[in-house]
Amino acid sequence: MRYLSVMLLLAAVTAEPAAGQTDNRPALVVLLTVDQLRPDYFSRWDADLTGGLRRFYDQGAFYARGEQDHAITETAPGHSTLLTGRSPGSVGIVSNSLGVPDPDYPLLGVLGPGASPARFRGTTLYDWMVAADRNTRVLSVSRKDRGAILPIGRAKVPVFWYQSGSFTTSTWYRDSLPTWLQRWNERKGAERLAGMVWKLFLPEDRYAEPDDQPWERGGAPHQFPYQMPTDSAAMAEVVVAIPWADSLTIDVALEGVRALGLGSRGAPDLLSISLSSTDAVGHGWGPDSREIHDQVVRLDHWMGRFMDSLATLVPREKTLYILTSDHGVSSYPERGAANGRMGGRVSGDRVMQAAQDVLQARYGQQFDLGFDNGLIYGNVTALRAAGVDVDSMAAALAADLARETGVTRILTPRTLAAADASDREAGRWSRTIPADFEWLAAASVAPGYIWTYASNAIATHGTTTNDDVLVPIVFMGKGIAPARLVRARTVDIAPTVAALLRVQPLETVEGQVLKEVVPPR
């Protein structure tokens, strides 16, 4: 019924303008994804926002409880929802490790992990736009490969990400970098930051957060100011962990818009930018730190400059902006403990490793077992062929996971299949795991708890708690009324933009057109 309502609304707006009518569609759709951006940052640091984030907060249709409504709240699954209208289970992107890594498609010009959208299933907004207008232009840029690749899907188009001082791509997309990007790389923007100092952007009295919390960065230096390496090669690696990676990503995006002529055709084009510094700073120092406060202020500043620069290339009134995030983040559990709150780090690796040891001793193999943010998976087909009672094994793993402090819910393939449609936790796991994916047990944790891995003393995300699930979703552009709104899902973004562009999804979508952005006719 939800899909039917989406299609009926789209049908009302997909016709081309009648003769003599003005085409009021945007010339450029800009998706700005800020990795690990929590919606409460806007209200928490309201007085310090004066740039791009300020414009979204005041001038956009702002959903303060946007949701990445699935279980493994990581970068790859989150990005897979943004322009598909579908959940990770439908798109086939279960987690970061089961996302875009692909050694069959190496990078161009630099050493680094190969990547491709080979696991990606189905279509995206870009495909829908091309079906309506084969001349549609697109550019996707990110510091991370998954942030650049997944909003666009399988199309072999301009998709670029950062690696070791350069923006590059993989052989999935092309055999050589375009001239405009080669020239940008020759400027060595990251290396030229060598020797700089990260100090506070605002006067110190504007930061209420303490600057000396022992859990930050696992005890490594964690107080302002931060001296960057003087060696240019070292700086090219370090830049991914500090705010300046965002400024480099934005600069590449603007260069690409100029070179490709995005927004200049008189018909809609698409630009996707994923900014990753908030994620890096959030992991290292946590969402309650002085460092993340400073990062968000810098992001606001750079985003404002980006929007002003883009307006010299594409008129503001012809630009449709969408701002969102791929996931939130949970606080350091050590911080919670210091303030008398429940929480902790939960190990699923222990449970998985114990099962591997038993299988190795009994069958001489481990059946490719893995653990990822609550999910234990493996080669179930081979287990059955070896005579393993898979349902009994899954139940035993669930019982073992239940012994971990902080675990609140465990599902197996059998119990998930039997879950009621109103079961929200089961629904999030069903929207995470593809129907043909082989797995054994899935566990959720209570607020304040996070999944942890060997010596992984960071703040992180990946759970179904609100801190990890909630993200901002904002639409801003001509004809969109500014409003402070409540709930939407990231799968609603693509069908809503499609309605504004008067294009049809090429497959069934899970999201719905947001009536506050596209009123029913």
Phi/psi of residue 285, nearest 5 degrees: -115, -15
- For the record, the structure tokens of 348 come out as 């699923």
Q: How many residues does the chain have?
A: 521
Backbone dihedral region for residue 131 (phi beyond 0: left; psi -120 to 50: alpha; all else: beta): alpha
What pLDDT score was predicted for residue 455? 56
442 and 476, same domain (yes or no): no
Cα 108–Cα 112–Cα 113 angle in degrees, nearest 5: 105
Is residue 184 classed as helix, strand or coil in its secondary structure? helix
Residues 442 and 489 occupy one common structural domain:
no
**Whether residue 150 is found in the same domain as residue 227:** yes
State the distance between the two ends of the chain, measured CA to CA, in whole angstroms.
18
Asked whether 29 and 269 are in contact (CB, 8 A), the reply is yes
Q: What is the CATH number of the domain that holds 431?
A: 3.30.1360.150
What is the C-alpha separation between 321 and 475, in angstroms, rounded? 6
Query: How far is residue 447's CA from residue 444's CA, in Å, rounded to a whole number?
Result: 10
Q: Are residues 289 and 146 in the same domain?
A: yes
Kind and range of the H or E run holding 142 = strand 138-142
pLDDT average per 10 residues of sequence, the chain (521 residues): 41 44 87 98 98 98 98 98 98 97 98 97 98 98 98 98 98 98 97 97 97 88 93 96 98 98 97 98 96 98 98 98 98 87 90 94 94 97 97 96 96 97 97 98 97 79 97 97 97 98 98 95 77
User: Does residue 460 form part of some domain?
Assistant: no
Cα R_g (the chain), whole angstroms: 23
Residue 23 included in any domain: no
pTM reported for the whole predicted model: 0.94
Query: Is there a single domain that holds both residue 270 and residue 418?
Result: no
Claim to verify: residue 358 and residue 293 sit in the same structural domain: no
User: Is the same domain home to 410 and 287?
Assistant: no
Total number of domains in the chain? 2
The answer to whether the CB of 51 falls within 8 A of the CB of 300 is yes
- Residue 453, domain member (yes or no): no
Residues 433 and 497 in one domain: no
Does residue 333 fall inside a structural domain? no
Residues 308 and 364 in one domain: no
220 falls within a domain: yes
Cα–Cα distance list, 78 to 81, 100, 436 (Å): 6, 13, 20
The verdict on 306 and 418 lying in the same domain is: no
Tell me if the bond preceding 225 is cis, omega within 30° of 0. Answer: yes
| CB of 434 closer than 8 Å to CB of 94 | yes
Q: How far apart are CA 292 and CA 285, in angstroms?
A: 7
360 part of a folded domain: yes
Q: Which tokens sit at 137?
A: 């232009």
Q: Do the Cβ atoms of 42 and 284 come closer than 8 Å?
A: no
Any idea what the CATH number is for the domain that residue 235 is in? Answer: 3.40.720.10
CB atoms within 10 A of CB 399: 12
397 belongs to a structural domain: yes
Asked if residue 477 and residue 402 are part of one domain, the reply reads: no
For the sheet containing 439-445, what is the strand order? 370-372, 375-377, 439-445, 407-411
Give exposure, 304-322, as e/b (b: 16+ Cβ within 10 Å): bebbeebeebbeeebbbbb
Please check whether residues 251 and 356 belong to one and the same domain: no
- Range(s) of the domain holding residue 405: 344-446
